[in-house]
Amino acid sequence: MVLIESYPVAVIMCIITMICWGSWANMQKLASKEWKFQLFYWDYCIGVVLLTLIFAFTLGSMGDAPRGFMDDLRQASGKYIGSALLGGVVFNIANILLVAAIDVAGMAVAFPIGIGLALVIGVVTTYYGVDSSGNATLLFTGVACVTAAIILDAMAYRRLPTTGQKTTAKGIVLSILCGVLMGQFFQFVAAAMPQPLSSISTAETAGKLTPYTALVFFAIGLFLSSFVVNTLVMMKPFVGEPVPFSDYFTKGGFKLHLVGIIGGMIWGVGMSFAILAGDAAGYAISYGLGQGATMVAALWGVFIWKEFHRAREGTNKWLALMFVLFVVGLALIVYANMPKTGS
């Protein structure tokens, strides 16, 4: 099993997480012109499951330390399997709210509000509930900068034309609900694994999962809960008419299904790297850096999808300050657990 022990490598992996988490929704944008987000979401879930299984049978099964994926399955405790599954269920509800918010209000709004709020909640819950490594002052100052960036994004959004006000207000509400739930899931997955991972072979951590096993059960929880959560959203969508199940098979060709699967695999790479990097970087810091995806998504929304092109003059100043605060906040989060070097 491949484990990450280097802090610089862990930070690089967190940056990749940030890019993946901030970019996967572009696949939804590509597919949304042809079919509903609920249909895209089935393929997205399949992509996450496939990615975690690929990692489990490759990186999670090679080498000598400490045990491979199949050996880990045989010793896994139901308590810790349940924790990873719960993480997948909580994430799934939050993510469907996020995807719905993107569909209603766009990436430049849904990500900064939803994922930015999730960053604040997730860092706090993970730091105090799972892993308190790192300088708390630097970490939470960084979180405060990100919070300020979220407020600026909301202010910039209010400068858009008010056409469709009810729909856009619904998008903001969906984003807030997403953020509250999204901030909870990471701690459940982290709690299924020993801290630190180097203690995984000791008697005290018997029954706990390797990162690769925890990720597989997380993905299973995500996929299975979709049969309840996504089905409900298909029957009672937030906007528009109900989506028939038959559309998944009759309206989606190979390319559309592949777009969704790739979107899920992109997100899955980010999640896997965040979990693997957490042992060296600290799970609160790993999660906080990964949720810098907000900035990546906002960049996509502003510069590629042109979601603010109709905003009033001067809005670009608000957006520029938002990006500056995000960068400063993320830099402080990185530095919060930087290893000390000798003089």
The answer to whether 55 touches 215, Cβ cutoff 8 Å, is yes
Identify which has the larger pLDDT, 101 or 266.
Answer: 266
Which helix (H) or strand (E) segment holds residue 257: the answer is: helix 254-281
- Contact of 156 with 315, CB cutoff 8 Å: yes
Quote the CA–CA distance of 113 and 169 in Å, as a whole number: 12
> pLDDT tens for residues 285-330?
888 888 777 778 777 877 877 777 777 888 888 888 988 998 898 8
pLDDT at res. 65:
62
Residue 322 has a pLDDT of: 87
Torsion sign across C-alpha atoms 239, 245, 249, 255: positive
Cβ atoms 40, 313 nearer than 8 A: no
Residue 162: count other Cβ atoms within 10 Å of its Cβ. Answer: 7
Q: For the ranges 11-15, 36-40, 161-165, which has the lowest average pLDDT?
A: 161-165
Percent residues over pLDDT 90 in the chain: 41
Indicate the pTM of the whole model. Answer: 0.86
Contact 106, 170 (CB under 8 A): no
Query: What would the mean pLDDT of 75-84 be, rounded to a whole number?
Result: 96
**5: amino acid identity, one letter:** E
Mean pLDDT of 262-267: 96
